[in-house]
């Protein structure tokens, strides 16, 4: 399954719409998603708290090994 960047951002902003295929992809590519989380944290949007912390925390819980 190919996951597009816009699918990732849809997940970040709308976690209730996460499809099981995307969840499976995240679990199969944990290392890459940790990099994605670091990228999010370092963006201007994250620094301005435009990405709710609760959503980032849900992603952290999903990718923790």
Confidence grade of residue 29 (pLDDT, cut at 50, 70, 90): confident
End-to-end CA distance of the chain: 22
Q: Which residues contact 45 (CB under 8 A, 6 or more apart)?
A: 51
Whether pTM > 0.85 for this model: the answer is no
Whether the per-residue pLDDT at 16 is higher than 60: the answer is no
In contact, 56 and 17? CB cutoff 8 Å: no
In terms of pLDDT, which residue wins out, 20 or 15? Answer: 20
Kindly provide the b/e burial profile for residues 18-32, where b requires at least 16 CB atoms within 10 angstroms of the residue's own CB.
Answer: beeebeebbeeeeee
pLDDT above 70: percentage of residues in the chain: 29
- Domain residue ranges in the chain: 5-11+19-63
């Amino acid at each position: 399954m190919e996951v597009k960047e816009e699918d990732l951002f849809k997940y970040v902003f709308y976690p209730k719409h996460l499809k099981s295929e995307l969840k499976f992809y995240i679990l199969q590519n944990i290392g890459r998603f940790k990099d994605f989380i670091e990228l999010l944290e370092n963006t201007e949007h994250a620094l301005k708290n435009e990405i709710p912390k609760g959503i980032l925390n849900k992603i952290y819980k999903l990718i923790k090994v």
